[in-house]
Amino acid sequence: MSVDVEDWFQVENLKPVIPASTWESRERRVEPNTMRILELLEARNARATFFILGWVGERHPGLVRRIAEAGHEIASHGYGHELVYSLSEAAFRADVERSKKSLEDLTGTAVLGYRAPCFSITDWAVGILQELGFEYDSSVFHTVAHDRYGRLTGVAMGRPVVELRPGFHEVCISCLPLGRMALPWGGGGYFRLIPFAAWRAGVRRILGAGSPYVFYIHPWEIDPGQPRMEALGRMNRFRHYVNLDRCEGRFRSLLSTFRWTSVRDVLDRWKSQAVAPVGAPGGSGT
């Protein structure tokens, strides 16, 4: 289970009508929405990874500490929610380093995981992340073409966890195989749009194939009362607002149907299986 902690006005869909220069003047709703997610997780004894935007963490330090105190993993979502491939390498380094340091100062714990805004990871970013002390990224979808998603060399369908470099892994967002293609099955607008019974069946199929299931949600997705930007284009309006009023109920059902842990825990378990002795439970046997 993963939560990408950003406020409603920081979403890429709204960028055409809400420039970053206006963020400070916007109504902040991220703290009560994230606290609600914490309540839902606690009710099911579920643990998650919170990929927190540095901008949010600096303005809501108590929220970051509350997440950590509840036993969840703190990870980085960058600082300013800018698409990775839109930045220079120097700008990306500065963005991620600022976020990492801020979160670590707040919690006193090393931040080891990263997720790119809008999953916009790219190959050159991996070396920078590792140099800054990260141990994994969780940004890749094995899916059909998307106008914002990034790609990484060496990460292919059927490999949910990949060691990109010694000591640095990619933990992929889940997709549902469909022939030679794969449907996004990890959260977001897809989760809000597809009937829950079908979604649940897809998760069971992924787990039944022996893969870990990686889900994500944003705090603004359980907030149907957020301000509405009527000037949005049709596609962005649909992407952002579709079924916001149903999302919390579906999320509760998802939490109650499966057992949930952090991305870090999934990675640690995956690595322990990979190094198990030949013939041992969890070993490759080859």
Is 283 part of a structural domain of the chain?
no
Is 279 part of a structural domain of the chain?
no
The residue to which tokens 């300013």 are assigned: 80
Residue 29 · residue 35 · CB < 8 Å: no
Neighbours of 282 (CB within 10 A): 13
Please report, rounded to a whole number, the percentage of residues in the chain having pLDDT higher than 90.
84
Give 76's strand partners: 52, 114
Is 101 part of a structural domain of the chain?
yes
Is 206 part of a structural domain of the chain?
yes
Per-residue pLDDT tens digits for 247-279: 999 999 999 999 999 999 999 999 998 754 433
For the cut 80, the answer to whether the pLDDT of residue 61 exceeds it is yes
What are the tokens at 160?
Answer: 């949910």
CATH of the domain at 44: 3.20.20.370
Instruction: Report CA dihedral (68, 71, 72, 76) to the nearest 10 degrees.
Output: 30
278: DSSP letter: T
The residue to which tokens 């969840």 are assigned: 72
Backbone angles phi, psi at 161, to 5 degrees: -130, 130
Name the residue type at position 184.
P
Is 64 part of a structural domain of the chain?
yes
Name the residue type at position 211.
S
- Average pLDDT over the chain reads 92
Supply the pTM of this predicted model.
0.93
Give the whole-angstrom CA distance, residue 54 versus residue 6: 9
Count of domains for the chain: 1
Per-residue pLDDT tens digits for 104-118: 999 999 999 999 999
Is 281 part of a structural domain of the chain?
no
Task: From residue 216, give the alpha-carbon distance in Å to each of 3, 16, 72, 258, 281.
Answer: 5, 24, 14, 14, 30
Give the whole-angstrom CA distance, residue 34 versus residue 241: 18
List the one residue out of 89, 14, 28, 33 whose CA is nearest residue 56.
28
Quote the radius of gyration of the chain (alpha carbons, Å).
Answer: 18
Is 280 part of a structural domain of the chain?
no
Is 284 part of a structural domain of the chain?
no
Confidence of residue 177 (pLDDT cuts 50, 70, 90): confident
Q: Give the structural domain span for 134.
A: 2-274
